[in-house]
Amino acid sequence: MRIRRLSAALLTSLALTASGLATVTPAAYGAASAAYPAWAAWTSYTAGTRVTHNGADYEAVQSHTSQPGWEPPNVPALWKAATGGGSDTQAPSVPGNLRSTGVTSTSVSLAWNASTDNVGVSGYDVYRGGTLVTTATGTSFTDTGRTPNTAYTYTVRARDAAGNVSAASGAVTATTSDGPGQPDPARMPGAPYLYMGWGSPPNPGTVMDATGVKSFTMAFILAGGGCNPAWDGNRPLTGGADAQAISTIKAKGGSVQISFGGWSGNKLGPNCATPAAFAGAVQQVVNAVGPAVVDFDIENTDEFENYTVQDRILNGLKIVKQNNPNLKIVVTFGTTRTGPNAHGIRLINQARALGVPIDNFTIMPFDFGGSNMYQDTVNASEGLKTALKNAYGWTDAQAYAHMGISGMNGLSDQQELTSPATWTQIRDWALSKGLTRLAYWAVNRDRPCPGGGVTAHCSGIAQTEWEFTRTTAGF
C-alpha cells in the first residue's frame, strides 16, 4: 500500500535559567504540503486513506474498491474533503431559478441555472426534502418513481472538485399528476441493453439497486453453428455468464427481454432454412430463459436488406406467437432522421400483409447523421407513426402504442451526442405519446469517461454512473 510521506521540521533550543527552571521554546517552522497518491479506479481503499483528485485532497469515509465514475467529488458516501490539504476553500455560487419543467403521475422534471466557481463546478446535489436524490452533472434532472397526486419539494446545491458545497437554492414544490387506474398493459418496462460478452459488463443486481431499473434487454442470440442458438454464437444458453445475469435479475423481481441478431455476427435468420426452423431456434431460447419479450434486431444486408430472410423471420414469428401467446414480440431496425427507409417500410408492410402479430416496432434513431438528437428522434418516430398508420389503418394513438425507441447513450459511432438531459427529453416525449418500449445501447457504456471517445465500457461524456439507466427506469 502506498503511504503518504509527511515531513516537518521542529527546531528547539533548551536553556537553563539561573533559577534552575527548564524552558522549551520552539523556533518558527513550516510544515511541507502532504503528498497523497492520486485517486485511481479499480483500487482498494480503506477508511481514512487520503488521495488527491483534480488538485483537491479527499479522505475515504468507508472501505471500498473504486470503479470508474466513483471519483471522490461524485460519491460523498465514499469520500469527504480532507482538512488541512488543498488550497481551494471557495464554494460555488448558489444555483439560480430552480424550477419544475414538467410532471407525470410518477415523475418530476427539474431545471436550474448554472452556478459559477473560482475553479469549476463539478456537479449539483439534488435534494427531495432533506434527502439527497442524486448528484447531477448538468443543470436538469428528472426524479422518477414518485407517487401520483403528491407534492414534492426540492432544493439544489452546487459542488466543486475540492468538495466545497454552495448554500441551498430556493425551494420549488411540484405536484405529480393523477395516475391512471391501471398501468398500461402494453407498455414494457424500460429495458436498456446489457451485453455480457463485451465492455466490462456490470453486475445487473448492482445496477438495479442503484437505479431502480427492473428489466434489461439481453444481447445477443446468434447462430452457434447452423440453426443452433447461442449467446454471441459461442456461449451456452444455460450455465454461463448470461444465464447467471438473468438469474440475478429475476431473483430481484426483474424481467428480461432477449435480443436476437444485431448489426454483426452469424445470425439465425440466414442460417435457419425455413420459418419453422427459425421458430424452433427461438423456442429453444424461450424454454431456456423464460423471457417476457423477444426482440428481433433486424439489421444489415444479411437480414434487413435481404427480403427472403426478412420474410423467413416474419413467418417464423407467427409460429413463435402461436406457441407463446403471452410472449411480446418486438422488431427493432434502423431509421433515417425522418422515419424508416425503404427496407423498413417494406418490413412494416410485409408484417401487415403476412398477418404477423408484432407487438412493437422499435427504431434506432442514431448513426443517421443526427445533429439535434432530441428533435431528430422525434422526427424519426413521427415518420414511423405515419408508416404504421399507412400499413395498418391505425389512429395516432394506436400507432404510438405499437412503437418504441432504442437510442445510444453518450457518443454514437458517428459521434452524435445524446446527453443525459437529451435522453430525459426523449423518454418524456415517449411517455407523453404513449409509446410502449424504451431501450438504449448499452448499460455497459453507462459510465463516465469525458473525452474517452466511442468505446465499449463508457459513454465518452461526463455523466454520473448509471445515469441513463436511472432515466430509462422511469419509463
Catalytic residues: 299
Q: What is the CA radius of gyration of the chain?
A: 27
Question: Which string of DSSP letters, residue by residue, matches 228-286?
Answer: -EEETTTB-SSSSHHHHHHHHHHHTT-EEEEEEEESSS--HHHHSSSHHHHHHHHHHHH
How many Cα atoms are found within 13 Å in the side-chain-facing hemisphere of 157?
Answer: 18
Instruction: Please say whether the beta carbons of 163 and 113 come within 8 A.
Output: no
Q: In the 8-state DSSP scheme, what is residue 345?
A: H
Smallest CA-to-CA distance from 434 within 256, 186, 200 is with 186
C-beta separation of 260 from 220 below 8 A: yes
User: Of all helices (H) and strands (E), which one includes residue 427?
Assistant: helix 420-433
What's the DSSP call for residue 301?
A: I
CB 246 within 8 A of CB 236: no
Number of helical H runs and strand E runs in the chain: 10, 25
Q: What is the DSSP string of 392-420?
A: H---HHHHHTTEEEEEE-EE-TT--EE-H
Cα dist. 362→173, 241, 295 in Å?
Answer: 36, 27, 9
User: What does 103-131 look like in DSSP terms, one character per residue?
Assistant: E-SS-EEEEEEPP--SS-EEEEEEEETTE
From 123, 251, 211, 75, select the one nearest 202 (Cα to Cα).
Answer: 211
Please give the Cα distance from 319 to 457 (Å, whole number). Answer: 37
